Amino acid sequence: NLRVLQFFDQEWNVPQAERDEWILHWMRTGFAAMEASLAASAQGGRFCHGDAPGLADCCLVPQLYNARRFHLDMEAFPTLRRIEAACLALPAFDAARPENQPDAA
């Protein structure tokens, strides 16, 4: 999140390359755990927990968007990518993309 990035920059003066590697490490770690959990889930379905989107999906999509901002290779996370695609096929998720906001730069 932005506050963490600003803390790295302002308080610790961490070089951007080191900061970005730290971010990527924790994204990979979290996504690997979520990928394993969802891939093994007995619930299955198009979304995180069944065939209807829920809170987990609302949290997952922006995290994956952020991961791409930092150029994280998403190849190792096919379940997460499949769920993201199902979410983004819905008008509400598509409308909520950052680039679709009126104040997007």
Q: Which amino acid is at 14?
A: V
Residues 52-74: tens digit of each pLDDT: 999 999 999 999 999 999 999 99
Low-confidence spans in the chain with pLDDT less than 70: 105
Specify the CATH number for the domain of residue 57.
1.20.1050.10
Domain containing 91 equals 2-99
Residue 60 covered by a domain: yes
**Bridge partners, residue 47, by sequence:** 50
Residue 14's contacts (CB-CB under 8 Å, 6 or more residues apart) are 8, 22
Residue 105 covered by a domain: no
Q: Model-level pTM greater than 0.85?
A: yes
Distance CA 27, CA 63 (A): 9
Confidence at residue 9, expressed as pLDDT on a 0 to 100 scale: 83
Distance CA 31, CA 63 (A): 9
Confidence at residue 8, expressed as pLDDT on a 0 to 100 scale: 82
Confidence at residue 26, expressed as pLDDT on a 0 to 100 scale: 95
Q: Is-contact 102 95, C-beta < 8 A? A: no
Q: How many domains does the chain have?
A: 1
Residue 87 covered by a domain: yes
